[in-house]
Amino acid sequence: MTVVVPLGSAKPEPAAQPERVGVLLVNLGTPDTADARGVRVYLKEFLSDPRVIEDQGLKWKLILNGVILRVRPGRKARDYRKIWNTEKNESPLKTITRAQAEKLAAGIADHDHVIVDWAMRYGNPSIRSRIDALTAQGCNRLLVVPLYPQYSAATSATVCDEVFKVLAGMRAQPTLRVTPPYYDDPDYIDALAVSINAHLATLPFQPELIVASYHGMPQIYVDKGDPYYAQCVATTDALRKRMGLDASKLLLTFQSRFGFDAWLQPYTDKTIEQLAKDGVRRIAVVTPGFSADCLETLEEIAQENAEIFKHNGGEHFAAIPCLNDSDPGMDVIRQLVLRELQGWI
């Protein structure tokens, strides 16, 4: 039997969506507010990730909910308030990451089918919300850019975990690419050297040495195969070579540990304390594992570690800013993105 459809009654075809490419910059995350409640929400999400704390068993849950989330939020909120961007009512990490996205968009504006956005792995804006926004704008290809020079499971991998989780619930998934770590990229090493030298030139003193401080991680994570430590070493070695400094003038250390397990060593705070006790009076600290200034650089390094140094006899301490949205920093991000977009633009 043949069914005749009356003329004009057929369902109209949907309009074709323009094909666009989405670029999503992703950084670690930040509380929405600089108070205990905001920090508690953030820490719960962060510390409940099995990539960050691998043993999520009953013991850890009791410690997290019974101790850490009761005590730590108030303390960390005070630290956040020391560095908070009161004008925008947000953390510097959020301010800087937004600026990086805006400058990247301007820097590749000649590719008018590319849309740049940004997200936080923990907190807001969430990865899910920004992927939804990009696909709603017709992006059927997505380049995710974890803003970590060195790879670790607790940073780069967990970004991918969340992206995959979002895509797992989508019927029409965008084609996905993820940028690789850029720990020894010549553009990155050159940008670090240029930025360090430019900042040193503004100081009223000449540092006796430079400390390169990276975020720490439990030693056991590296023992299990995480490449993070080796990549931090590679970054430092390349930076030493680029700046003409030996290991005694550009030290490698690790910061931000907590708990009682052994973390990557040497520890930044212990090293800085010992340097002061040994008679070093002038130092500068750079943080090559961070693409943007945040609590760990602006408060932990620039304030806490400066106080440790001076309390133990040091006189002059300089915290060198991250690359942030500076011209050298944006050159690194732009070149990384353009390289990974080859074939799509």
- Neighbouring CB atoms inside 10 A of 80's CB total 24
- Neighbouring CB atoms inside 10 A of 29's CB total 20
Q: Is 299 annotated as a binding residue?
A: no
Q: Is 296 annotated as a binding residue?
A: yes
State both tokens at 49: 């990730």
The answer to whether 153 and 147 are in contact (CB under 8 A) is no
> Residue 280's closest CA among 212, 206, 213?
206
The answer to whether 213 and 284 are in contact (CB under 8 A) is no
How far is residue 322's CA from residue 291's CA, in Å, rounded to a whole number?
A: 6
State both tokens at 213: 């401080």
Q: CA dist 14 to 2, 137, 245, 344, Å? A: 26, 15, 62, 25
> Residue 256's closest CA among 224, 298, 319, 226?
298
Q: Binding site, residues? A: 215, 296
Q: Binding site for Fe(2+), residues? A: 215, 296
